Chain A
Amino acid sequence: MGFEIFKETYAGSISPITLGKGDKAVTVGGESCLPLYTFEGEMPNKPRIAMEIWDMEPSDWAEPAKKPFEDVLSDPAAWAKKCVEDYGADMIVLQLKSADPNGKDASPDEIVATVKKVLEAINVPLILWGTANNQKDEEVLKKVSESCEGENLVLGPVEDDNHKGIGASAMGFGHTVISSSPIDVNLAKQVNILLENLGVPTDRIIIDPTTGGLGYGMEYSYSVMERIKMAALLQGDDKLQYPMINNLGNEVWRCKEANQSADEAPELGDPERRGILMEVAGAVSYLMAGSDILIMRHPESIRMVKSFIDLILEGGSAEDIAPISKQLADVDIDFASMAPEPDLTIEEEKKAAPKKAAAKKEEKKEEPKKAAPKKEEKKAEPAKEEKKAEPKKAEAKPAAEEKAARPEEDEAAKAKAEEEKKKKAEEEAKAKAEQEAKAKEEEEKKKKQEAEKKAKGEEEARKKAEAEKKAKREEEERKLREKRAKEREKLQKKREAAQEKPGTLTPAEEQKSHLDKIVERLDRIHRRA
């Protein structure tokens, strides 16, 4: 009998939504399983990527994002065309940045003119993304909707405050709307209900759950998307059975890390690869959370995410996917020089990690450990008047405390601290010797020599102990291997036996009633015995 995966049965499916018109119309959604779980249900339409363009020349884009489009940034129509013809975009998102009342505040008529130009230049579906200023979006999108009747544009974001204006207009002129809400499953549902109550047909709604950039709240969006998909598919909530869209590129590329140059943040590596990979990582995460449409910016990120979608849905080898092809000059970052000095003692100690050995080692180590602080005290005493001595002492104490608090991590730290202490002790002794009167000099020298001798002795003792330990550890490891092998054999036999006689499950003698369960649970919360 082969291994069988437990398969979930679903109570609903996402409604398929067609965007755009004609040959190049795109259908998204329609899945009857959790995202990419094609072993449990159908995912008739692959998640799609919409390429992002702006209706005005972006002034604050990061260099790597600008580079592929540098010749078309000031002409939305040419930009859109380039996306479709050069980069094979399935869809175009026109971000209506110029409409922002806090920025250029372009009039609805100006926006309509741009939209028409872009529409002429392309034949793939067009998504229009407003400014998230409710009033202005309503003004602009209503006007666009009216002037582009029958184009089946996708208009968003539509929020509860402007759902009526945009919703009614989109419904009247044959467009699709993006129902947007701030990262909450209930609020998402509420906007959808409002749109449905308005009469927007159920094949004209897409959900925007609000997208957080990588490292900037992505986990919140992720879990809300999960909840939306679960409600839609597992609980069969028909108010949430719509495809989802994520305005990702805009979020990723505006964050600090995507815009820092190699000089500003050398430890983050090549800025071009960095931005692309951040966008890819975000996209892949959102695909797993259930995104149906991803709005993305960089052609290289898009190429990689597309290949991810194909691989995961159709199979194949990721080795055939080309690495990022750079368009900007390579940056030379000396990572080695930034790396912290490797601490070899730590490595050495780490090898001796097995538990039994560690316990023994601790016993043995105790002596030198005790010895070290003693010695320090001795030397510190004559030096009491020196300012240097005090802070050093203070440093040593917390270190010792820390050790006590974390016995497991101790091994490495102990050794290191010990070394340091020794060094310190020596330095102190030297300094003192120089500053003391001549009469004392000799005495001090003696002391120092003694200390060195002692230290040497300790070092030797330690090495010896270590060699012993190593031998012991190897012996123990060998024994352990033998033991494991025996255990495995036993388990195997047991399993074979179990397979022959499948155990039957008998119900508990006393079946708990619902009441018993409630009372038991409350007792636990209440801390009643």
Chain B
Amino acid sequence: MTQYKVSFLPHEKEITVDEGQSLIRAAMDAGVHINASCGGEGVCGKCRVLIESGEVDEGISEQLSKEDIENGYRLACLSKVKSDLTVRIPTESFIDAKVLNLQGTPRKTARIKQLNLEDLKEKGLFVPPVEKLYVEMPAPDSMDNEADVTRLVGALQRDHGEHRLEFDLSVLRKVPDVIREADYKVTVNIARPVREDGRNRVINIQSGDTTDRNFAIAVDIGTTTIYGQVIDLISGEVLAQYGDFNSQISYGEDIISRIVHAEKQGGLEKLHSLAISTINSVIAKIIKNSGVDKDEISTITFSGNTTMTQLFLSVNPRYIRRSPYVPAANIYPPFKAVEIGLDLPNHVTALVYPQVSSYVGGDIVAGVMGSGMYQDEEVTLYMDIGTNAEVVIGNKDWLVCAACSAGPAFEGGGIKFGMRAAEGAIEDFSIDPVALEPMNVTIGNVRPKGICGSGLITTVAVMFEMGIIDNRGKFNRDLDTPRLREVDGVYEFVLAWKDVAGADRDVVLSEIDIDNLIRAKGAIYSGCMTLLSEVGLSVHDLDRIIMAGGFGSYIDLEKTMTIGLLPEIDAEKVTFIGNGSLMGARMSALTNSIRRDVVATVKKMTNFELSETKSFMDNYVAALFLPHTEQNLFPALKARLEDRQRQMEQ
């Protein structure tokens, strides 16, 4: 795609963007503030900019007068970059040039880590769990009247050097008819043993050569959402992916209320069947979208937290929420998918990720396996931020983990206008420190309806740096703007007035929202610090951070450090893997080496119950501050704030 350079004046900041990128996003990424409250729909008319040189598409609206348009004014949110540009931001509110440059820093996003199959093959780690082999054998006659199965085994031995084969009875039943129909040319599915000394199980037989069509399904059973993928076991590609709300939600949003329901008469059966029906609908959808035949699926893998796993397998989760918080099992045996009611062919084997403890489940193990941190030398901090947050620290030699009770703030829970990353969610934010006019950028460039996790982090971080909120997350009461107001004893800041909002009222950020965010980030940060101190390490010993979770790779790393969610660390060391649980499930569908290593890894993961770890409470209270009570842990931010202070005083 063609790229163009956009220069912003008077900021003298420059950024290279793809053709067709909206000007407002280009400005945001460059760290340039433009007043904009309507999210980019073009209704507020505040993002008027002057195109001094170059060309843009669109950008014209009835908000601009004829004269304006003739003079070269456009609305930044509607303008699409079409050539190299010089854009002047009119300083409607008088902003000193010094202050201008203090406004923002260019976005630092995390690198996205992708699964690399070639790399795996090179390392010898690609051991498909189910293989398809094609054989041709001679038809029996009076001289050669061996049994059908013996004939098949002989051919497999001769052509492929297969040993230690065993047949499922269901396959055996099919053999006589299938081999005759196929004129003694068949493809067999062989499930490889997890341990090298195990047996190879023949799980299916098909007529003709179907070796180029071998597929698997990976499923992440989340408390809120269930995701599924169809994977081509030959190319490693994902053919289809789909996620749907876990229909257990009607029995409570968090795991504790699900367990409570499961304890009621018939509750466990109900929740089990709801999980199965959601999974079946996801499977149906992805099979349809991928154009694969259901019969071509060889295996299915699952990962989920401990409670979701137990509910899914119909194992009573009652003891998970009772001290001393013991899960039913760490490791579950492989089983036939049809056994628990999954709508898949009889030959499909299901595999479930093992659990570490009641609150560090298979989803985290999957992340550890999928991200590959379990076999790396580097000391890695892995954090999965979802409906709750879990952290793992370690490398190939040791692993420690803990569940932090962070709550769902990053998914919009407990936030007045919180929402998931969907259309209309404010995902990026900036504010003019003098006029206090915000710049809201929303998903889909429509009027703001609410604020998503990454938007919340950015908004609070920006307001903190601009001195609009203090270290405790309280608004500066002295600010002279109608946007700051007290409603029912709670202070709130209006991000978008009703007339430009996608909701029927003003979209606001309240002190309670900020407080919930601080508690959530405090729980995660202090969880990390507690684990680090338990192994005698410090933040400086971390070689890298891997973030997993649903809140999008769009998150600005510097902002996560400003609020003290992540420790201050070189942005290059941070990678993002998206849904770590699904990634792990996919990996174990692709290669047996993961299945082989996972047991040893789970045994290696030392779980710390934070509530019973002495130093946790101290760390937690210290983290309930922006960015942290120990401000020297955030030297870059400290320097920025001092710099700002100095310049404001001049």
Contacts and interface: CB of A to CB of B under 8 A. Distances in A.
Q: Is the A/B pair a real complex?
A: yes
A151 interface: no
Contacts of B603: 528
Contact of A190 (B397, B534, B618, B629): B629
Interface string B583-623: 00000000000000000000100101000000000100110
Contacts of B631: 193, 239
Given A186-B618, A186-B622, A522-B606, A160 B535 contact: no
Contacts of B400: 522
Interface stretch (A254-262, A305-313, A510-518): A510-518
B470 interface: yes
A189 B629 contact: yes
B629 A184 contact: no
A487 to B, nearest CB: 41
B470 A184 contact: no
Interface in B520-545: 534-537
A518 B394 CA distance: 10
Given A190-B629, A194-B470, A194-B472, A517 B536 contact: yes
A25 interface: no
Contacts of A185: 618
A440 interface: no
A515 B399 CA distance: 12
A190 B625 contact: yes
Contact of B621 (A186, A517, A525): A186
A164 B618 CA distance: 26
Contact of A525 (B470, B477, B606): B606
A501 interface: no
A521 B535 contact: yes
A525 B477 CA distance: 49
A187 interface: yes
A190 B629 CA distance: 6
A476 B535 CA distance: 52
A186 B629 contact: yes
B530 to A, nearest CB: 13
Contacts of A360: none
A194 B631 CA distance: 12
Nearest to B541: A514
Interface in B385-418: 397-398, 400
B606 A187 contact: no
Given A186-B618, A190-B471, A194-B470, A526 B606 contact: yes
Contacts of B625: 186, 190, 193
A187 B621 contact: yes
Contacts of B472: 160, 190, 194
A518 B531 CA distance: 12
A160 B471 CA distance: 10
B486 to A, nearest CB: 14
Contacts of A515: 397-398
A526 B604 CA distance: 9
B536 A514 contact: yes
A519 interface: yes
Contacts of B621: 184, 186-187
Nearest to B477: A164
Nearest to B537: A518
A518 B470 CA distance: 39
B392 to A, nearest CB: 13
Contacts of B606: 522, 525-526
Contact of A197 (B471, B535, B608): B471
Nearest to A522: B606
A522 B618 contact: no
Interface size, A (range): 20 to 34
A48 to B, nearest CB: 29
Interface size, B (range): 20 to 34
Nearest to A238: B632
B522 to A, nearest CB: 11
Q: Which of B606, B618, B625 has the most CB of A within 10 A?
A: B606
A515 B339 CA distance: 45
B470 A519 contact: no
Interface string A490-529: 0000000000000000000000001101110110011010
Q: Which of A189, A515, A518, A528 has the most CB of B within 10 A?
A: A518
B381 to A, nearest CB: 15
B470 A197 contact: yes
Contact of A193 (B397, B471, B537, B618): B471
Contacts of A514: 536
B476 to A, nearest CB: 9
A215 B606 CA distance: 40
A522 B471 contact: no
Nearest to A237: B630
A193 B534 CA distance: 28
Interface in B273-294: none
Interface string A136-160: 0000000000000000000000001
B114 to A, nearest CB: 30
A518 B398 contact: yes
A160 B621 CA distance: 14
A519 B631 CA distance: 31
A185 B622 CA distance: 9
Nearest to B400: A522
Interface in B553-609: 603, 606, 608
A3 B400 CA distance: 45
Q: Which of B535, B536, B621, B629 has the most CB of A within 10 A?
A: B629
Nearest to A165: B477
B471 A518 contact: no
A391 B500 CA distance: 84
Contacts of B470: 194, 197
B633 to A, nearest CB: 12
A185 B625 CA distance: 13
A243 B537 CA distance: 32
A194 B536 contact: no
B631 to A, nearest CB: 7
B462 to A, nearest CB: 18
A194 B471 contact: yes
Interface in A184-218: 184-187, 189-190, 193-194, 197
Contacts of B471: 190, 193-194, 197
A160 B625 CA distance: 12
Nearest to A520: B398
Nearest to B645: A197
Nearest to A164: B477
19 contacts: A185-B618, A186-B621, A186-B622, A186-B625, A187-B621, A190-B625, A190-B629, A193-B471, A193-B631, A194-B472, A197-B470, A514-B536, A518-B397, A518-B398, A518-B536, A519-B397, A519-B398, A522-B398, A522-B606
Interface of B: 397-398, 400, 470-472, 477, 534-537, 603, 606, 608, 618, 621-622, 624-625, 629, 631
Given A186-B625, A519-B397, 20 more contacts: A160-B472, A184-B621, A186-B621, A189-B622, A190-B472, A190-B629, A193-B625, A193-B629, A194-B471, A514-B536, A517-B536, A518-B397, A518-B398, A521-B535, A521-B536, A522-B400, A522-B535, A522-B606, A526-B606, A528-B603
| Those 8 A-B pairs whose CB atoms lie nearest each other, nearest first | A186-B622, A186-B621, A522-B606, A186-B629, A518-B535, A526-B606, A189-B629, A519-B398
